Structure formats: structure tokens, C-alpha cells
Homo-oligomer: A and B are copies of this chain.
Amino acid sequence: MLFHVRMNVDLPATMPPAEAAALKQTEKDLAQRLQREGKWRHLWRIAGQYANVSIFDVDSVDELHTLLTSLPLFPYMHIDVMPLCRHPSSVRDGDI
């Protein structure tokens, strides 16, 4: 099942640069592992913003929530989730 997820990141200005860098690296490692596992299907940067649009492919809403809240940057993000389904005009079978 696919979900459209928009994440806006807002790190506090008072966070020490080293702490921010460590957080971002852990986030990147996890994001890449989840992409390789097929859970995080797409990940795009929104131009001009510290924000992304992502497509997640999960077995349940609970799995989606568990994945999102496991992200190191979760406490610093505003997240909006929109459930997607197959479009009758889509030609790509695997694209739900």
C-alpha cells in the first residue's frame, strides 16, 4: 500500500552543529536502508525548502507510523500523510 508523505524539517537554531550533523547522518543511513528494503519507494527534495516528498510502500498504517516515528529527525519534522491508491489510467502495474 502506498502513502504520500511530506516531511518539513525544522531544526532548532540552538542545536550544536555536531549534533545536527550526527542526526542527519543517522537519518540518511536509515533512509537509505529503508529505500533498499523497498519500504521507502521514492524520496525527492522540494526545491528551495528543507522538505521532502516521499512515497512509502507498507503493509499497514501501523507499519508506516512505526517507520516514520523511528526517523532520528522525527521530533523536528512536521509530517502530512495522504493515502494513495491505484489510478484507473495508470499503465504501471507495480505502481499500485
Q: Taking the full assembly, how many copies of this chain does it contain? A: 10
A26 and B71 alpha carbons, distance in the complex (Å): 25
Establish whether residues A1 and B60, one from each chain, have CB atoms under 8 Å apart when the complex forms. yes
Number of interface residues of A (CB under 8 A): 48
Chain B residues with CB below 8 A from A75, complex form: 13
Taking CB atoms and an 8 Å cut-off, the chain A residues in 32-69 that contact chain B are 32, 35-36, 42-49, 52-53, 55, 60-62, 64-65, 68-69
Main secondary structure of the interface of A (DSSP, over half): mixed
Interface string of A55-95 (1 = CB under 8 A from B): 10000111011001100000100011111111111111001
Query: Is B28 within 8 A of A47, CB to CB?
Result: no
Question: Which residue of B is nearest A67, CB measured?
Answer: B48
